[in-house]
A and B are shown apart, each in its own frame.
Chain A
Amino acid sequence: MAAPEHPVLETHGLTIRFGGHLAVNAVSCAFRPGTLTAIVGPNGAGKTTYFNLISGQLKATSGHVSLFGEDITPLSTPQRTHRGIGRAFQLTNLFPRLTVLENVRLAVQSRAHLGRNLWSMWGRHVELIERAEHCLHRVALADRRRVIASALPHGDQRKLEVAILLALEPEVFMFDEPTAGMSVDEVPVILELIEHIKAQGDKTVLLVEHKMDVVRSLADRIIVLHQGELVADGEPAAVIASPIVQEAYLGVAGDT
């Protein structure tokens, strides 16, 4: 299962407390390149919160996050993004009144460190446009490039969310229920894409997903969160078969 390489991303005793509630409780875990780790658990288990701690939207109460051996816990979200952490959000999180292409170009531009350029014309950066169009092409959205993001149907908004993540060219890809709410015929595009990223071999992929067939076919490893704690970790077959997981969560989650 685990590749021999050093882990790219590690969390050490990562904890966050909301009032009296430990939403993520002392989670230690290492993620290696070329590996897709599925994170499962019932709603409210703390999966999204765990992601927020890794990408920096939330500050940990205690514990550390490290990337390529560097402690990134004190870094801000933008700094973590520039170091290679890329995040697609569970709740669609776009620039609603900008076009599809502009949404992706903003990500390409950030990757190219061009945001501070005050004097060139945005429309003249052909290489950025081409890069953005390529990302849209990969999620099968190229023909909607001129549409205003908020006018897209839900499934296309999810795809755009993924296209933005691709445009950032991160080292760590974090997908938070990328196919939730998508129609059946839209799902394969996203799954093939995730598979392709994994096949590149040097990228680290974290995937929160409820659909058990998806998890079974894509994941190299599954970790289970329950009430903020990491309760199971291992090869997919073993984790799915383990009795506590079977009875407590996967039986329920597998139906949805």
Chain B
Amino acid sequence: MLARVLSGDFPRSRALAVALVVILVGLALAPFIVPGTRSLTVAAKVCVFVLLVASYDLLLGYTGIVSFAHTMFFGIGGYGVGIAMARMDSTWGALAIGVLVSLALSAVIALAIGLLSLRVRAIFFAMITLAVAAFFQILASQLSGITGGEDGINFKLPEALRPATSFFEATFFGVAVNGRLVSYYLVFAVALAFFLVLLRVVNSPFGRVLLSIRENEFRSEALGYRTVTYRTVANCLGALGATVAGILYAIWLRYTGPDTTLSFNIMIDILLMVVIGGMGTMYGSVIGATLFVVAQNYLQDLMKFASNAAQGVPLLPNLLHPDRWLLWLGLLFIVCVYYFPAGIVGKLRAAKEKP
């Protein structure tokens, strides 16, 4: 049973298994463990980014495709839902239309990019994705009548997902059963389901072909695999994963804007999460996304605390000032890449496999 759910891809390291179970249980019970609005947003963001990073790893880690268009597909999901909900009405029907249209649009664009440019050299493909993603950013800010420009779109969700909607008078283990709770579990369940789908895909015969393309595309062709087709399908699947993540993020935030979806800063974050967690392992995206999102949200608090504590010591309070958090994250990243070139998951698995 468990083998089926995990597609036969077990953590293969006790430490990794423990970490994954802790993260899974933590996310499943987040509304009860950390009921505050801010903490719950962090938990939801972890769910969204696990899916976003996993779908990127399908491209980068499994197939060896370098794409910079992942945030574009993330944005298509977010804007699809945002525009549908804001311009039509806040019903389930509008939500469904937004979801379907954004998935279809992503699939078509990913297919087009794939067919037009996956034949060419990897560097050229990376440039094309960069150009298309930049074009989309400009489009989103120029068509402000539809997209809300730099301000983005605030929108209302269907009744059942609104925070003000209460389902019971009483609370459940001290937590109000309202639209907020339902939204969280919607995000959690869909992200988990799609993560497991990706896990299955990478462990299927198709997934092995992707690995063979990453390892030696020339040889893969000689074995009889039309690699352009495989890479294009992988590109579409990755794009759809990102779109679903974008849809979930928009639903959680009840907002879509350039900074929450299309920004290249997010693209860089995704790259960091993939590398920190470990390329070419789906579990790496869980570890990478969780560490990164939690650090991003709590490192500043920690630093404020440390900075205050270090008052009076020369230089140190300045260095620990919360505004320097990116510097510290960068340092953490360098240390991570230096000590775990195969990512945290690679490190844990290697430790286990050594006799």
Using a CB–CB cutoff of 8 Å, the interface residues on chain A facing chain B are 55, 57, 76-78, 81-82, 87, 89, 93-98, 102, 105-107, 109-111, 114-125, 164, 168
Q: Is B7 an interface residue (CB 8 A)?
A: yes
A123–B224 Cα distance when bound, in Å, is 21
Q: Which of B216, B218, B224 contacts A110 (CB 8 A)?
A: B224
The answer to whether B206 touches A115, judged by C-beta atoms less than 8 angstroms apart, is yes
**Which chain A residues border B220 with CB–CB below 8 Å?**
95, 106
**Which chain A residues border B200 with CB–CB below 8 Å?**
118-119, 121
User: Would you give the shortest CB distance from A151 to chain B, in whole angstroms?
Assistant: 12
User: Would you give the shortest CB distance from B146 to chain A, in whole angstroms?
Assistant: 35
Q: Quick one: given A95-B215, A106-B212, are A122 and B222 in contact (CB under 8 Å)?
A: no
Q: Which of A57, A89, A118 is packed against the most chain B CB atoms within 10 Å?
A: A118
Chain B residues numbered 193-235 whose CB sits less than 8 Å from any CB in chain A: 200-201, 203-209, 211-212, 215-216, 218-226, 230
**Which chain A residues border B206 with CB–CB below 8 Å?**
115-118
A-B pairs with beta carbons under 8 Å apart, 27 shown = A55-B222, A77-B221, A78-B226, A81-B223, A81-B224, A82-B224, A93-B218, A94-B216, A94-B219, A95-B215, A96-B216, A102-B208, A106-B212, A109-B208, A109-B209, A110-B225, A114-B205, A115-B230, A118-B200, A118-B206, A120-B204, A121-B8, A121-B204, A122-B208, A123-B203, A125-B205, A168-B223
Q: Quick one: given A121-B8, A121-B200, are A76 and B208 in contact (CB under 8 Å)?
A: no
The answer to whether A78 touches B225, judged by C-beta atoms less than 8 angstroms apart, is yes
The answer to whether B204 touches A95, judged by C-beta atoms less than 8 angstroms apart, is no
**Which chain B residues border A76 with CB–CB below 8 Å?**
221, 226
Q: Quick one: given A77-B222, A78-B221, A78-B224, are A123 and B215 in contact (CB under 8 Å)?
A: no
Closest A residue by C-beta to B211: A98
A252–B211 Cα distance when bound, in Å, is 43
**Which chain B residues border A114 with CB–CB below 8 Å?**
205
**Which chain A residues border B205 with CB–CB below 8 Å?**
109, 114-117, 120, 122, 125
Q: Which of A57, A109, A120 contacts B222 (CB 8 A)?
A: A57
**Which chain A residues border B216 with CB–CB below 8 Å?**
93-96
The answer to whether B203 touches A105, judged by C-beta atoms less than 8 angstroms apart, is no
The answer to whether B209 touches A122, judged by C-beta atoms less than 8 angstroms apart, is no
**Which chain B residues border A164 with CB–CB below 8 Å?**
223
User: Would you give the shortest CB distance from B337 to chain A, in whole angstroms?
Assistant: 18
A120–B203 Cα distance when bound, in Å, is 8
**Which chain B residues border A120 with CB–CB below 8 Å?**
204-205
The answer to whether A93 touches B219, judged by C-beta atoms less than 8 angstroms apart, is yes
The answer to whether A81 touches B230, judged by C-beta atoms less than 8 angstroms apart, is no
A168–B222 Cα distance when bound, in Å, is 10
User: Would you give the shortest CB distance from B311 to chain A, in whole angstroms?
Assistant: 51
Q: Contacts A77-B222, A94-B219, A116-B206 known; list 7 others, CB within 8 Å.
A: A57-B222, A81-B222, A87-B222, A110-B223, A115-B206, A120-B204, A122-B204
A119–B203 Cα distance when bound, in Å, is 8
User: Would you give the shortest CB distance from A91 to chain B, in whole angstroms?
Assistant: 11
A223–B203 Cα distance when bound, in Å, is 46
The answer to whether A106 touches B222, judged by C-beta atoms less than 8 angstroms apart, is no
Q: Quick one: given A95-B211, A106-B209, A109-B208, are A118 and B223 in contact (CB under 8 Å)?
A: no
The answer to whether B215 touches A111, judged by C-beta atoms less than 8 angstroms apart, is no
**Which chain B residues border A122 with CB–CB below 8 Å?**
8, 203-205, 207-208
List 9 A-B pairs, minimum CB-CB distance, nearest first. A81-B224, A95-B215, A110-B224, A123-B8, A118-B206, A117-B205, A110-B223, A114-B205, A78-B224
A228–B171 Cα distance when bound, in Å, is 85
User: Would you give the shortest CB distance from B284 to chain A, in whole angstroms?
Assistant: 15
Closest A residue by C-beta to B208: A122
User: Would you give the shortest CB distance from A126 to chain B, in whole angstroms?
Assistant: 13
Closest A residue by C-beta to B216: A95
**Which chain A residues border B203 with CB–CB below 8 Å?**
121-123
A107–B255 Cα distance when bound, in Å, is 48
**Which chain A residues border B204 with CB–CB below 8 Å?**
117-122
